[in-house]
Amino acid sequence: MSEHFTGSFTQQEAIPDEGIAAALEVLRHGRLHRYNVTAGELSQAALLEQEFAAATGARFCLAVSSGGYAITTALRAVGVAHGDAVLTNAFTLAPVPGAIAAVGGRPVFVGVTEDLTIDLDDLAAKAGQARVLLLSHMRGHICDMDRLMAICDAAGIVVVEDCAHTMGGGWDGVASGRHGAVGCYSTQTYKHMNSGEGGLLITDDEDIAARAVLLSGSYMLYERHLAAPGPEVFERHKYHMPNISGRMDNLRAAILRPQLAILETQVDRWNERYARLDEGLRDTPGLHVIARPGAERFVGSSFQFLLLDWGDDDIRQVVARCAARGVELKWFGAPEPAAFTSTYGHWKYAPSDPLPESDRILRAILDMRVPLTFSEEDCALIARIIRAEVGAVHQAR
């Protein structure tokens, strides 16, 4: 009898008890707005910013309403204006080109490698086309950041890192989000800390930090931030930055602070599960497992593999056969966006020249979430199911 997986790919772990208790305290006193504090009180949002800055080694941090808002704010804060070209990954999700479009920018897509990282040769070739790179560490795959920064520094390109899938990760001992001018993170439910929606932005640049705080809607209450520059920096910018309110509230910050305290442990747990999937799928005929370089500290909260040069019908068969056995795979090669996947060809507001080498890779990507509600044994079972169904279709091709 065939094995069947019965778990949910969308069920997250419960919020830690400390987060629930902190949230109840906020609800009881009713001061949810980040600037609504009593004399001598430090808001949960300000404390989260201080703690996240310390955890990443950044000088400044801002807590906002979503990861997409963090990216959009970062682009505005580094000076992207209407009509400006912005380099970004061809392999990413819609909020990334959406953030560029939201500030009036024009995405210029850079190709993807078989390791699912930005194609650094293509980046070098396109470096003269824009002064900003919005780098998406898509699905937690981190490229050679030393080479990327050398390319960008030589071309005078400002790097904004989208770290929605790499919170807790890094490259060669440097935390994800700390190579570029700004790092942006998400705390949406399916990310590495869960507040339903939410985002964080870090930087060492005091002017970028001040602009971001003002953009988020400080109402001139920037002195109530703990991880922000001094008042003299805000004086330079406060009459030039529009208020585009997107603050994080104290309820979400209260939920997040205990999760930040255990983030390193959670990363280890994700990577234990990822290792079981990787071990179970390696050497499967017709299936390409993504190489993870030694310098990369990744977070295995999702898993991808490639069915390179397979026909569309064969890939659909794999997806359907796995689904029949309880394993939910997302296919990036579908002609229409589905299951929260999409590619650069789907975003009609961001037209692009064809990227044939990237198209070959994108249409081969199969992807799945790895929630911490899965056990290591669950992951071994999932790998056996995928291996069997890929093998069956591959043999019949």
Contact in structure between 167 and 143 (CB atoms under 8 Å): no
Q: Dihedral of CA 358/300/322/388: which sign?
A: positive
Report the alpha-carbon distance of residue 113 to residue 302 in Å, rounded.
18
Domain 263-396 has CATH 3.40.50.1260: no
Contact in structure between 300 and 169 (CB atoms under 8 Å): no
- State percent of the chain over pLDDT 70: 100
Region 17-261: CATH code:
3.40.640.10
C-alpha distances out from residue 66 to 87, 201, 217, 289, 367, Å: 22, 10, 14, 31, 23
Report the alpha-carbon distance of residue 240 to residue 338 in Å, rounded.
41
Ramachandran class of 261: left when φ > 0, alpha when ψ lies in -120 to 50, beta otherwise:
alpha
Locate 179 and state its tokens: 């190579």
Evaluate if residue 312 carries a pLDDT over 80. Answer: yes
Report the alpha-carbon distance of residue 99 to residue 124 in Å, rounded.
23
Query: Domain locations in the chain?
Result: 17-261, 263-396
- Number of helices and strands in the chain (H, E): 13, 14
The predicted model gives 301-314 an average pLDDT of 97
pTM of the model: 0.97
- Residue matched to tokens 């790919």: 9
Mean pLDDT of the chain: 97
pLDDT band at 1 (very low <50, low <70, confident <90, very high): low
> Residue 300, Cβ neighbours under 10 Å: how many?
22
pLDDT at 338: 79
Report the alpha-carbon distance of residue 60 to residue 44 in Å, rounded.
16
pLDDT at 89: 96
Taking only the tens place, the pLDDT of each residue in 241-294 is 999 999 999 999 999 999 999 999 999 999 999 999 999 999 999 999 999 999
Taking only the tens place, the pLDDT of each residue in 12-23 is 999 999 999 999
C-alpha distances out from residue 13 to 25, 93, 153, 258, 266, Å: 21, 24, 41, 14, 11
Evaluate if residue 229 carries a pLDDT over 60. Answer: yes
C-alpha angle 158-159-164 in degrees, rounded to nearest 5: 155
Taking only the tens place, the pLDDT of each residue in 143-191 is 999 999 999 999 999 999 999 999 999 999 999 999 999 999 999 999 9
Evaluate if residue 104 carries a pLDDT over 60. Answer: yes
Taking only the tens place, the pLDDT of each residue in 324-373 is 999 999 999 888 887 778 888 889 998 988 999 999 999 999 999 999 99
- CA-based radius of gyration for the chain: 21
Locate 390 and state its tokens: 């890929």
Taking only the tens place, the pLDDT of each residue in 343-353 is 888 899 989 88
The residue among 164, 94, 116 whose CA lies nearest residue 341 is 94
C-alpha distances out from residue 379 to 7, 161, 167, 265, 266, Å: 10, 30, 22, 18, 16
Locate 192 and state its tokens: 């590495």
Evaluate if residue 121 carries a pLDDT over 90. Answer: yes
> What is the amino acid identity at position 145?
M
CA dihedral of residues 61, 140, 71, 209 (deg, nearest 10) = 20
Q: Helix 44-56 and helix 250-261: axis angle, to 10°?
A: 30
* Phi and psi, residue 221, nearest 5°: -100, 30
Locate 70 and state its tokens: 């963090």
The residue among 323, 326, 329 whose CA lies nearest residue 368 is 329
Contact in structure between 255 and 48 (CB atoms under 8 Å): no
Contact in structure between 170 and 145 (CB atoms under 8 Å): no
